[in-house]
Structure formats: C-alpha cells, structure tokens
Structure 1
Amino acid sequence: MYGYIPLCSFYGGQYRQYKIRLLMLSSDVETNPGPGKGYHYDEETVTDDNTRRILQAIADTKEEVKSVKRSVQGVQQELENIKEELKIIKSKVDCLEYSHEVIASDVASVSLQDEVKEERLNEIERQLNSIENEKLKPFPRVFGLGE
C-alpha cells in the first residue's frame, strides 16, 4: 500500500465523484431546511413517544436553566452586598489603624512624661533627705534613746 501513487486520471475521477456526492448531499439541506424558528410542536401533532420524551426533556431543561439563572442572579446580588459591606469594614479598619497610631503616640508621650516625673520625684526625695540630714547635724545623736 505504501509507495502506491495513483494515476492522475484515477485521482481526478475519484475527486470528481466526491465533489458530485458532496453537492448532492448539500442540495438536500438547501431544499429541505426543516421547520423554521417559529415552528412549535403541539401534543396533537407529535405522535412518536420518543419525540414527546425529548420535548418534555427540553422543556424541563429550559425550566432548570431559568432556575439556575435566577439563582446566579441571587448570588450576584449577595456578592455585591458583601462587597459593599467589605468596603464599610475596610474604612472602619483604616479609621481604627489611624486611632491606634494616635493612641500609641499618646501612650508613648505619657510614658515619657511619667519617666520625667519619676526622675523629678526621686530628685526631690534626695533633696529632702539632704535637707533633713543638714538639719540633724547640729544635734547630737545617742543611739538607743528615744527622741
């Protein structure tokens, strides 16, 4: 079979037969295109049981498609609502982040002020002790006696 090259006349004749057969088959489609788009099957005109089942399956499928479309629209609406809620939550989080920064700054400032005041308090306490020591120097102290 390999290496067999048909003669040109054989090939041309065979091609011509295919072309004629193709034209014959396509002409049938053109002369009998079937029912138009507006054609509707009635129960009275349909006598074949299989055709009735097919038509019922088509009707059921159309109804299911409508139901799915309604469900998808509901899901899309819920998704839009969730997006809006997320925008609101994001704006609140941004506000909280800003407030957190302000509060952290205030806490740091109060902490620094507390350290300064604690140092000042220690300094005052040292000065007070120093003053008391200076006052007590002229008086003799006898240990073991009450004041």
Structure 2
Amino acid sequence: MTKKINSDTNWTEKLDSETYRIAREGGTERAFANKYYDCKTPGTYNCICCEEPLFHSNTKYDSGSGWPSFYEPVGDGYVSAKEDHSHGMHRVEVLCANCDAHLGHVFPDGPKPTGLRYCINSASLNLVEESDSEK
C-alpha cells in the first residue's frame, strides 16, 4: 500500500474544521453525540481522509463507551498504532496506516476473538453501506 500523504493545505481544503481537528490534529469528539456510535447499518467504515477501508460493521459492537467500537480492523496493515502519553494517561493511539489520520485508541478490554476494543471517532470514518447484493 502506498501512503497518500497530503500537505496540511490539502487536508484543510478537503475536511471541515471539526473533522480536521480530530483526524489530522488528534482530537476527539463527544461521547454519545457522534454519527456512528449507535449505527447498525451494514457496510465498511473507511478513512475520512483517504477512503481506505478500516473496519467492517460485522466487527462493530456496543462497548458502552459512546464511540463506535470494533474488535478488529478489516485486515493486517490497515491501521497502525503508537504510544500516546497525552492528557497524563498511557494509551495506544490508532492511525490509518495509509495516511496517518488519527482514528482513536485501542484498549485490551474488548470481546473475543481478539480481546481488543478499537474505540474510534466517527469524524474519522465514512461508512460505505453494503449494497443489497452484498448483504
């Protein structure tokens, strides 16, 4: 996969200010007040910046956190992780492996089969709904 790195100018032209703050500057959105936390629509959640697939709806579950939660990405190499020591906490930040967009964080308290909880900002995602033929 070849990375699609744009300049800040391109991201500011492509993204609204709130999406830019979250996806490009590592921000977060309010719990329970975001687009996909309670979404049940089948499909693939793509990166809002570069449109690479990240998570499939069949790995989404209600974690009670108020953000969309998934137990695994669509495959190896689609998301990357790095240590995050901001806000006086130790967490693992999740990024789009293709364009380095900030997605959210991953925690070791998820369901089987992975035991992981990818807690992802809706603003970093774009749901591509499955067509009737794919369901």
TM-score range, shorter chain: under 0.3
Greater per-residue strand proportion: 2
- For CA contacts below 8 A with separation 6 or more, give which structure has more relative contact order: 2
Normalised TM-score (structure 2): 0.18
Normalised TM-score (structure 1): 0.17
Greater per-residue helix proportion: 1
Compare CA radii of gyration and give the structure with the larger one.
1
